[in-house]
Amino acid sequence: MEGLAMLRQLIGQLQELLELYGSHPSSLVLPSPSLSPLPHPLHLLQPLPPPPPPPPPLLSQFHSHHQRQQQQRQHHSWCVLNVDDGSADDYYSLIMAAGKSGNFKMLEPCKPPHAKKPRKERTRGKLSGTTNTAEIMEQQIWKDFPEDLFEAVIARLPIATFFRFRSVCRKWNSLLDSQSFSQHCAQVPQGNPWFYTITHENVNSGAIYDPSSKKWHHPTISSLPNKMIVLPVASAGGLVCFLDIGHRNFYVCNPLTQSFKELPARSVKVWSRVAVGMTLNGNSTCGGYKILWVGCDGEFEVYDSLKNSWTRPGHMPSSIKLPLSLNFRSQAVSIDGTLYFMRSDPEGIVSYDMVNGVWKQYIIPAPLHLTDHTLAECGGRIMLVGLLTKNAATCVCIWELQKMTLLWKEVDRMPNIWCLEFYGKHVRMTCLGNRGLLMLSLRSRQMNRLVTYDVSNREWLKVPGCVVPRGRKRQWIACGTAFHPCLTAIA
Amino acid sequence: MSNTSENPKPSSSSAKMTLKTSDNELFEVEEAVAMKFCTVKQYFEDEKDSDVAARGSTTVIPLPNVHSAVLATLISYGKKLPQSNAVADNHEEEETKKKERKKYEQGLLKNLMPGELLDLISAANYLDFKEGLEFFNQALADHIQNKSVEYVRKFFGIKNDYEPHEEEKYREEYAWAFEGVDED
């Protein structure tokens, strides 16, 4: 009920604005209700006093906020809203949520939920039962461990461990800048992707889910523009590509490190909604990457990181029917340097070969009674995940594309017991990551479920709720993308 | 024993080489396995160039940096790896072999004596045995992955060159990375 009232209020405000500003019907600019005098937002991002000796690089990335109390003020910003079909609800809900909370809360630094209890480490004075003389003896020998082998071992540590061990000594900290370390990291087989998500409650910063440890991490990324809402739209090689909510500017960053880049402006006049895909040239970001945007009118551009510029490599072939009713809720899928996007009218997939610059279209009838569908990928196979609703029963289904017949074949469904929860409810699903390990957000008025589905071993798992440090309430995830955590990826 | 005896190629899979360890023990090894030790491979190819009569069967390759116990383990590990010249297995056989290998690997790590892991890593490094080095490096990484920073410093004898206030700040700001650490 509260939500409805808020929505009415918001719509009222928007109508007012439309009259006031007479804006272009396809875009709205929503000014903040009031701009209270604030310290410059960048100030809030600086490492806290006393900073005078310039802090070593490892400190400037994550920011502690001892003055948290003062900093939780009204903090508004401009949000550019694109009132587009189908996408409107996402944006409205984001803006509404931001309005509801009354401020864009400064994200608290990453502390474990039980921060008040002393960390386990502080009890390390006690010997655990497993330490024995054999281990102690062992420890003497390792002092001779060859220096040149450290990098190979450290490259094999889980990401969280690596961040912890950066504080072992300065040399280990500096590994992030080492070429040879980068090469070792590239050789380690990639595990599960992580998920970079944006929550309704904190639209300015991300919450990252690590499915291997089943933990949410809440780092703050200082370099992402603080005043705007940016959404993750694609990723490759450990980098995430963001687009601001007005579809104007692209940003690329490595969510784990400070590496960040704002891409040069595109050469378009109208900022309409676009679908985005990203590919690596080689097998790491050292070889560069490309980003493609494509709009419903068939316009597209490709960004090449090596040249740091956008180009228009030709036109879409006339065989591809325009307008492209692109499925903007679905993220693109990248397989061997080709990007795949879902379209409708006619239903199917359009693909772009990033290497050879060739567009193709595949007409593929969609399964019946399908909603909230999105493309996914696993081991080179193209998959589809969506909600199947018949009568009052809703179920999450997985299809695989049969290449020979160009038909979707159902290969799996969410366990019945879980689907029962949705019975009779109006459920919306968002895909927060679509490669190999899918992460799905299922929402209805009272329900907010997160699950992962491992395509290769057909395993459905529940995801712990996303709770900010020191918070209790589960966050609502608005959108997200999967990315492979890579310590050495450079934007 | 290698199952490559059906291989029709003449060169080989049954050809053996002799490796001599630091403690003067001799190991007869199938060529296919020995070739995974790139140092040995290099030596062997150099020998070939200098025109030795019989291929491998009379040459004894000295490994002065490797002890017999360590070499035995590395050879045993090498045998379990997919052989490059083996007849291609069907999917089921491949899966069975994979499972066997996993079981063997787990057994190997469980029974490792203190200090053996260091010897294995050093030897694999010296022999340029890529798969062995990856496996044992991973074993070491797994051993330390949940340990505290202090443990790691003590373990490797590393001196902490951070100022105390720097370190404290770092721990606060990366608190998420310090969760769930084993007690020392």
pLDDT tens per residue across span B91-150: 777 778 888 888 888 888 888 876 788 889 999 999 999 989 999 999 999 888 888 888
Q: How far is A8 from chain B (nearest CA, A)?
A: 40
First-last CA distance in chain A: 44
Judge whether A165 and A172 are in contact, CB under 8 Å.
yes
Model pTM? 0.68
Residues of B in contact with A167 (CB under 8 A): 149, 162, 167, 170-171, 174
- Dihedral-angle region of residue B97 (phi above 0 means left; psi in -120 to 50 means alpha; beta otherwise): alpha
Strand pairing partners for A359?
A352
Grouping H, G, I as helix, E, B as strand and the rest as coil, residue B58 is coil
- Which residue from B minimizes the CA distance to A64? B173
Q: B140 contacts in A (CB within 8 Å)?
A: 153
pLDDT over threshold 70, residue B19 = yes
Q: Which two tokens stand for residue B57?
A: 């069967």
Report the alpha-carbon distance of residue A93 to residue A402 in Å, rounded.
Answer: 36
Q: Which of A62, A150, A169 sits opposite B160 (nearest CB)?
A: A169
Q: What is the ipTM of this complex?
A: 0.82
- The pLDDT of residue A196 is 92
Searching chain A, which residue's CA lies closest to the CA of residue B162?
A169
Using a CB-CB cut-off of 8 Å, the residues of chain A touching B156 are 142-143, 145, 150
Structure tokens belonging to residue A463: 């995801």
In order of A47, A107, A221, A292, A333, the CA distances from A432 in angstroms are 31, 21, 19, 20, 13
pLDDT, position A134 = 53
Residue A98 zone, left/alpha/beta (φ > 0; ψ -120 to 50; rest): alpha
Predicted pLDDT of residue B86? 61
Given a contact cutoff of 8 angstroms between Cβ atoms, the answer to whether A367 and A386 are in contact is yes
Determine whether the interchain pair B173/A141 forms a contact, defined as Cβ–Cβ distance below 8 Å: no
Q: What is the pLDDT of residue A428?
A: 92
What is the pLDDT at residue A46?
Answer: 36
Distance from CA of B110 to the nearest CA of A (A): 14
CB-CB neighbors (< 8 A) of B167 in chain A: 167
> Which residues, in sequence order, are CB contacts of B39 under 8 Å at separation 6+?
B126, B127, B128
d(CA A201, CA A218): 13
- Whether A95 contacts B155, CB under 8 Å: no
Closest Cα in chain A, distance from residue B13 (Å): 29
Average pLDDT value over all residues in chain B: 80
Interchain pair A110, B176: CB under 8 A = yes
Distance from C-alpha of A456 to C-alpha of B159, rounded to nearest angstrom: 44
Q: How far is B126 from chain A (nearest CA, A)?
A: 11
Please name the helix (run of DSSP H) or strand (run of DSSP E) that holds residue B42, with its range, or none.
helix B38-49
Q: What is the pLDDT of residue A3?
A: 62
Interface test with B, best of A116, A142, A188, A214 (most B CBs within 10 A): A142
Q: How many beta carbons lie within 10 A of that of residue A57, not counting itself?
A: 14
- Using an 8 Å CB-CB cutoff, list chain A residues near B158: 168-169, 172
**List of long-range contacts for A173-176, beta carbons under 8 Å, 24+ apart:** A173/A56, A173/A57, A173/A58, A175/A151, A176/A257, A176/A487, A176/A488
The share of chain B scoring above pLDDT 70, in percent, equals: 81
With CA atoms as reference, the chain A residue closest to B175 would be: A111
Among the partner residues A58, A134, A138, nearest to B170 by beta-carbon distance: A58
pLDDT at residue A158, as a whole number: 87
Residues from chain B contacting residue A153 (CB–CB below 8 Å): 137, 140-141, 144
- Rounded to the nearest angstrom, the minimum Cα separation between B4 and chain A is 28
The residue of A45, A153, A214, A216 whose CB has the most chain B CBs within 10 angstroms, and thus the best one to mutate to test that interface, is A153
Alpha-carbon gap, residue A390 to A330, rounded angstroms: 22
Grade residue B184 by pLDDT with cuts at 50, 70 and 90: low
pLDDT at A135: 57
Percent of chain B with pLDDT over 90: 7
Taking the alpha carbons of A378, A384, A390, A394 in that order, is the dihedral positive or negative? positive
Candidate from B134, B159, B173 with C-beta closest to A62: B173
Cis peptide before A323 (omega within 30 of 0): yes
> What was the pLDDT predicted at A300?
93
Q: Which long-range contacts (CB under 8 A, 24 or more apart) does B50-57 make?
A: B55/B15, B56/B15, B56/B16, B56/B17, B56/B31, B57/B15, B57/B16, B57/B17
Each residue's pLDDT, cut to its tens digit, for chain A (491 residues) gives 556 666 665 665 666 555 544 444 444 334 444 434 434 433 333 333 443 444 444 433 333 343 343 333 333 333 333 333 444 445 445 544 444 443 333 333 333 444 344 444 443 333 333 445 555 545 677 887 887 888 999 999 988 888 889 889 998 988 888 888 888 887 887 788 999 998 887 777 788 899 988 888 877 555 566 667 888 999 998 899 999 888 888 999 988 877 889 999 887 777 788 999 999 998 777 789 999 999 998 999 999 999 999 998 888 899 998 899 999 988 999 999 999 999 988 999 999 999 999 999 999 999 999 999 999 999 899 999 999 988 888 899 999 999 899 999 999 999 988 888 888 888 899 999 998 899 999 988 888 889 999 998 899 999 998 887 777 778 888 889 999 988 888 88
- Residues in chain A with CB shorter than 8 Å from the CB of B183 are 120, 123-124, 126-128
Of B122, B161, B169, the CB nearest to A59: B169
Contact across the interface for B161 and A219, Cβ inside 8 Å: no
| Closest residue to B114, CB basis, from A62, A134, A168 | A134
Pairing between strand B60-62 and B16-20? parallel
CB contact under 8 A, B122 and A157: no
The neighbour count for residue A92, using CB atoms within 10 Å, is 16
* Tokens 């990856």 sit on residue: B134
Helices (H), A115-203: 133-141, 150-154, 159-165, 170-173, 179-187
Strands (E), A287-416: 289-295, 300-304, 309-311, 325-326, 333-335, 338-344, 348-353, 358-363, 370-378, 381-390, 393-402, 407-413
Comparing alpha-carbon positions, the chain A residue that sits nearest to B113 is A134
Nearest to A139 among B149, B154, B171 (CB): B154
